[in-house]
Amino acid sequence: MGRIFEVRKAKMFARYDRMAKQFTRFGKEIAIAVKQSGPDPDNNPALRRVIQNAKAINMPKDRIESAIKRASSKDTESYEEVLYEGYGPHGVALLVETATDNTTRTVANVRSHFNKGNGNLGNSGSVSFMFNRLGVFRLNAEGVDPEALELELIDYGLEELGEDEEGHLVIRCGFADFGNMQKALEDKGLEPLSAELEWIPTTTVELPEDQAEDVLKLIARVEEDDDVQKVFHNLK
Protein backbone atom coordinates (compact mmCIF):
# COMPACT_ATOMS: atom_id res chain seq x y z
CA MET A 1 0.00 0.00 0.00
CA GLY A 2 2.47 2.68 1.19
CA ARG A 3 2.99 5.67 -1.06
CA ILE A 4 0.31 4.79 -3.66
CA PHE A 5 -2.30 4.60 -0.89
CA GLU A 6 -1.18 7.95 0.51
CA VAL A 7 -1.38 9.62 -2.93
CA ARG A 8 -4.88 8.23 -3.52
CA LYS A 9 -5.97 9.33 -0.05
CA ALA A 10 -4.62 12.84 -0.62
CA LYS A 11 -6.47 13.11 -3.95
CA MET A 12 -9.66 11.81 -2.35
CA PHE A 13 -9.54 14.36 0.48
CA ALA A 14 -8.71 17.15 -1.96
CA ARG A 15 -11.81 16.20 -3.97
CA TYR A 16 -13.95 16.21 -0.83
CA ASP A 17 -12.57 19.63 0.10
CA ARG A 18 -13.49 21.01 -3.34
CA MET A 19 -16.99 19.57 -3.08
CA ALA A 20 -17.48 21.02 0.40
CA LYS A 21 -16.31 24.42 -0.85
CA GLN A 22 -18.73 24.27 -3.79
CA PHE A 23 -21.63 23.25 -1.55
CA THR A 24 -20.86 26.16 0.78
CA ARG A 25 -20.71 28.53 -2.18
CA PHE A 26 -24.09 27.46 -3.50
CA GLY A 27 -25.56 27.54 0.00
CA LYS A 28 -24.66 31.23 0.15
CA GLU A 29 -26.01 31.87 -3.34
CA ILE A 30 -29.28 30.20 -2.35
CA ALA A 31 -29.47 32.38 0.78
CA ILE A 32 -28.91 35.56 -1.25
CA ALA A 33 -31.49 34.58 -3.88
CA VAL A 34 -34.12 33.67 -1.25
CA LYS A 35 -33.57 36.90 0.69
CA GLN A 36 -33.98 38.92 -2.51
CA SER A 37 -37.02 37.27 -4.11
CA GLY A 38 -38.44 34.53 -1.88
CA PRO A 39 -38.13 30.73 -1.52
CA ASP A 40 -40.29 29.64 -4.48
CA PRO A 41 -38.11 28.73 -7.51
CA ASP A 42 -41.11 29.08 -9.86
CA ASN A 43 -41.33 32.78 -8.99
CA ASN A 44 -37.64 33.39 -8.41
CA PRO A 45 -35.46 33.03 -11.55
CA ALA A 46 -32.24 33.68 -9.57
CA LEU A 47 -33.03 30.86 -7.14
CA ARG A 48 -34.01 28.59 -10.03
CA ARG A 49 -30.64 29.25 -11.65
CA VAL A 50 -28.69 28.54 -8.45
CA ILE A 51 -30.58 25.28 -7.85
CA GLN A 52 -29.82 24.25 -11.43
CA ASN A 53 -26.12 24.94 -10.95
CA ALA A 54 -26.06 23.17 -7.58
CA LYS A 55 -27.59 20.05 -9.11
CA ALA A 56 -24.96 20.14 -11.86
CA ILE A 57 -22.21 19.58 -9.25
CA ASN A 58 -24.28 16.85 -7.55
CA MET A 59 -25.24 18.86 -4.47
CA PRO A 60 -27.75 16.60 -2.64
CA LYS A 61 -31.41 17.54 -2.96
CA ASP A 62 -31.94 17.52 0.81
CA ARG A 63 -29.03 19.92 1.26
CA ILE A 64 -30.51 22.30 -1.33
CA GLU A 65 -33.91 22.16 0.37
CA SER A 66 -32.30 22.69 3.78
CA ALA A 67 -30.45 25.76 2.48
CA ILE A 68 -33.71 27.23 1.13
CA LYS A 69 -35.53 26.57 4.41
CA ARG A 70 -32.70 28.06 6.45
CA ALA A 71 -32.57 31.16 4.24
CA SER A 72 -36.32 31.64 4.70
CA SER A 73 -35.88 32.02 8.45
CA LYS A 74 -35.86 35.56 9.82
CA ASP A 75 -33.00 34.65 12.13
CA THR A 76 -30.60 33.48 9.43
CA GLU A 77 -27.58 35.60 8.55
CA SER A 78 -27.63 37.89 5.51
CA TYR A 79 -24.76 37.86 3.05
CA GLU A 80 -23.43 40.88 1.21
CA GLU A 81 -21.90 40.38 -2.22
CA VAL A 82 -18.65 42.34 -2.55
CA LEU A 83 -16.24 42.43 -5.49
CA TYR A 84 -12.53 42.95 -4.81
CA GLU A 85 -10.06 43.94 -7.50
CA GLY A 86 -6.31 43.75 -7.70
CA TYR A 87 -3.19 42.48 -9.42
CA GLY A 88 -1.42 39.21 -8.89
CA PRO A 89 2.29 38.72 -9.52
CA HIS A 90 3.61 39.65 -12.99
CA GLY A 91 0.75 42.08 -13.67
CA VAL A 92 -2.13 39.60 -13.94
CA ALA A 93 -5.50 41.18 -13.16
CA LEU A 94 -7.73 39.44 -10.61
CA LEU A 95 -11.39 39.89 -9.67
CA VAL A 96 -12.58 38.24 -6.46
CA GLU A 97 -16.30 37.74 -5.87
CA THR A 98 -17.22 37.27 -2.21
CA ALA A 99 -20.37 36.68 -0.16
CA THR A 100 -19.84 37.74 3.42
CA ASP A 101 -21.57 38.57 6.67
CA ASN A 102 -18.53 40.54 7.84
CA THR A 103 -16.88 42.81 5.26
CA THR A 104 -14.17 43.92 7.71
CA ARG A 105 -12.97 40.34 8.09
CA THR A 106 -13.25 39.60 4.40
CA VAL A 107 -11.30 42.59 3.09
CA ALA A 108 -8.55 41.94 5.65
CA ASN A 109 -8.30 38.29 4.59
CA VAL A 110 -8.33 39.04 0.87
CA ARG A 111 -5.65 41.74 1.31
CA SER A 112 -3.53 39.27 3.30
CA HIS A 113 -3.85 36.63 0.56
CA PHE A 114 -2.75 39.15 -2.08
CA ASN A 115 0.21 40.33 -0.01
CA LYS A 116 1.42 36.80 0.73
CA GLY A 117 1.11 35.91 -2.95
CA ASN A 118 3.13 38.97 -4.10
CA GLY A 119 0.02 40.71 -5.37
CA ASN A 120 -1.67 44.01 -4.61
CA LEU A 121 -5.29 44.62 -3.69
CA GLY A 122 -6.57 47.66 -5.60
CA ASN A 123 -9.49 50.06 -5.42
CA SER A 124 -12.91 49.57 -6.96
CA GLY A 125 -12.65 50.02 -10.73
CA SER A 126 -8.89 49.46 -10.88
CA VAL A 127 -9.24 46.13 -12.70
CA SER A 128 -12.87 45.53 -13.66
CA PHE A 129 -12.61 47.83 -16.71
CA MET A 130 -10.50 45.09 -18.32
CA PHE A 131 -13.37 42.60 -18.11
CA ASN A 132 -16.90 42.29 -19.45
CA ARG A 133 -19.55 40.81 -17.19
CA LEU A 134 -21.49 38.31 -19.27
CA GLY A 135 -24.14 35.67 -18.79
CA VAL A 136 -22.69 32.26 -19.65
CA PHE A 137 -24.92 29.25 -20.25
CA ARG A 138 -23.60 25.74 -20.89
CA LEU A 139 -25.88 23.22 -22.58
CA ASN A 140 -25.70 19.61 -23.62
CA ALA A 141 -25.12 19.77 -27.37
CA GLU A 142 -26.92 16.47 -28.10
CA GLY A 143 -29.97 17.00 -30.30
CA VAL A 144 -29.39 20.74 -30.67
CA ASP A 145 -28.79 22.48 -33.99
CA PRO A 146 -26.30 25.25 -33.09
CA GLU A 147 -26.95 27.34 -36.21
CA ALA A 148 -30.73 27.29 -35.76
CA LEU A 149 -30.40 28.02 -32.04
CA GLU A 150 -28.07 30.93 -32.74
CA LEU A 151 -30.65 32.56 -35.02
CA GLU A 152 -33.42 31.98 -32.47
CA LEU A 153 -31.49 33.57 -29.61
CA ILE A 154 -30.22 36.72 -31.33
CA ASP A 155 -33.33 38.63 -30.27
CA TYR A 156 -32.67 37.68 -26.63
CA GLY A 157 -29.23 39.25 -26.43
CA LEU A 158 -26.99 36.48 -27.76
CA GLU A 159 -23.41 37.71 -28.19
CA GLU A 160 -21.60 34.45 -28.86
CA LEU A 161 -22.34 30.74 -29.27
CA GLY A 162 -19.61 28.12 -29.39
CA GLU A 163 -18.30 24.92 -27.82
CA ASP A 164 -16.06 24.30 -24.82
CA GLU A 165 -13.35 21.65 -24.49
CA GLU A 166 -15.91 19.11 -23.25
CA GLY A 167 -18.15 19.55 -26.29
CA HIS A 168 -20.87 21.50 -24.48
CA LEU A 169 -22.57 24.42 -26.18
CA VAL A 170 -21.59 27.72 -24.58
CA ILE A 171 -23.91 30.70 -24.92
CA ARG A 172 -22.81 34.18 -23.91
CA CYS A 173 -25.03 37.22 -23.52
CA GLY A 174 -24.74 40.67 -21.98
CA PHE A 175 -25.24 41.09 -18.24
CA ALA A 176 -28.49 43.01 -18.78
CA ASP A 177 -29.84 40.22 -21.03
CA PHE A 178 -29.20 37.37 -18.59
CA GLY A 179 -32.83 37.08 -17.43
CA ASN A 180 -34.19 37.25 -20.99
CA MET A 181 -31.79 34.55 -22.14
CA GLN A 182 -32.63 32.32 -19.19
CA LYS A 183 -36.36 32.60 -19.94
CA ALA A 184 -35.82 32.04 -23.68
CA LEU A 185 -33.97 28.78 -23.02
CA GLU A 186 -36.63 27.66 -20.55
CA ASP A 187 -39.39 28.43 -23.08
CA LYS A 188 -37.56 26.31 -25.66
CA GLY A 189 -37.33 23.40 -23.21
CA LEU A 190 -33.53 23.67 -22.97
CA GLU A 191 -32.22 23.14 -19.45
CA PRO A 192 -28.67 24.48 -19.09
CA LEU A 193 -26.02 22.41 -17.36
CA SER A 194 -25.00 25.67 -15.72
CA ALA A 195 -25.96 29.32 -15.92
CA GLU A 196 -23.52 31.82 -14.45
CA LEU A 197 -22.58 35.47 -14.51
CA GLU A 198 -18.87 35.57 -15.29
CA TRP A 199 -16.20 38.23 -15.74
CA ILE A 200 -14.60 37.64 -19.15
CA PRO A 201 -11.27 39.45 -19.83
CA THR A 202 -11.11 41.66 -22.91
CA THR A 203 -7.38 40.90 -23.26
CA THR A 204 -5.20 38.20 -21.72
CA VAL A 205 -1.65 38.03 -20.40
CA GLU A 206 0.66 35.19 -21.46
CA LEU A 207 3.44 34.25 -19.03
CA PRO A 208 6.26 31.69 -18.89
CA GLU A 209 5.31 28.54 -16.99
CA ASP A 210 7.16 29.44 -13.78
CA GLN A 211 5.55 32.90 -13.61
CA ALA A 212 2.11 31.50 -14.42
CA GLU A 213 2.58 29.09 -11.52
CA ASP A 214 3.09 32.06 -9.18
CA VAL A 215 -0.27 33.46 -10.27
CA LEU A 216 -2.07 30.12 -9.96
CA LYS A 217 -0.74 29.69 -6.41
CA LEU A 218 -2.22 33.05 -5.43
CA ILE A 219 -5.55 32.18 -7.06
CA ALA A 220 -5.64 28.85 -5.19
CA ARG A 221 -4.86 30.65 -1.92
CA VAL A 222 -7.69 33.14 -2.46
CA GLU A 223 -10.17 30.46 -3.53
CA GLU A 224 -9.62 28.60 -0.25
CA ASP A 225 -11.03 31.52 1.73
CA ASP A 226 -14.49 30.74 3.12
CA ASP A 227 -15.89 34.12 2.04
CA VAL A 228 -14.69 33.82 -1.57
CA GLN A 229 -17.19 32.62 -4.16
CA LYS A 230 -15.25 32.89 -7.42
CA VAL A 231 -11.97 34.28 -8.76
CA PHE A 232 -11.58 35.59 -12.32
CA HIS A 233 -8.31 36.53 -14.02
CA ASN A 234 -6.83 37.49 -17.38
CA LEU A 235 -4.02 34.92 -17.42
CA LYS A 236 -3.98 33.21 -20.80
- Domain co-membership, 87 together with 38: no
* Cα dihedral 136/103/115/231 (nearest 10): -10
- Domain co-membership, 14 together with 105: no
pLDDT of residue 10: 41
Is pLDDT above 80 for 192?
yes
- Domain co-membership, 110 together with 174: yes
- Domain co-membership, 24 together with 104: no
76 pLDDT band, cuts 50/70/90, is: confident
- Domain co-membership, 116 together with 229: yes
- Domain co-membership, 99 together with 210: yes
pLDDT of residue 7: 41
Instruction: Quote the mean pLDDT of the chain.
Output: 91
* 3-state SS class at 199: strand
pLDDT of residue 68: 95
- Domain co-membership, 94 together with 33: no
- Domain co-membership, 67 together with 119: no
- Domain co-membership, 129 together with 181: yes
75 pLDDT band, cuts 50/70/90, is: confident
187 pLDDT band, cuts 50/70/90, is: very high
pLDDT of residue 17: 60
* Domain extent for 216: 80-236
- Lowest-confidence segment of 12-16, 52-56, 66-70, 167-171 by average pLDDT: 12-16
- Domain co-membership, 25 together with 108: no
CB 233 within 8 A of CB 200: no
The CB density around residue 206, as the number of other CB atoms within 10 Å, is 8
Number of domains in the chain: 2
The torsion angles phi and psi of 173, rounded to 5 degrees, stand at -140, 165
- Domain co-membership, 102 together with 33: no
Mean pLDDT of 212-222: 97
Q: Where does residue 58 rank: exposed (0-12), middle (13-18), buried (19+ CB within 10 A)?
A: exposed
pTM over 0.75: yes
* 3-state SS class at 145: coil
Is pLDDT above 90 for 2?
no
**Edge-to-edge order in the sheet of strand 93-100:** 120-121, 80-87, 93-100, 228-233
CB 71 within 8 A of CB 27: no
User: Domain holding 191: CATH number?
Assistant: 3.30.70.980
Instruction: Look at residues 72, 106, 124 and tell me which one is the last residue of a structural domain.
Output: 72
pLDDT of residue 156: 96
12 pLDDT band, cuts 50/70/90, is: very low
CB 219 within 8 A of CB 231: yes
Instruction: Look at residues 15, 47, 72 and tell me which one is the last residue of a structural domain.
Output: 72
pLDDT of residue 21: 86
Mean pLDDT of 93-116: 98
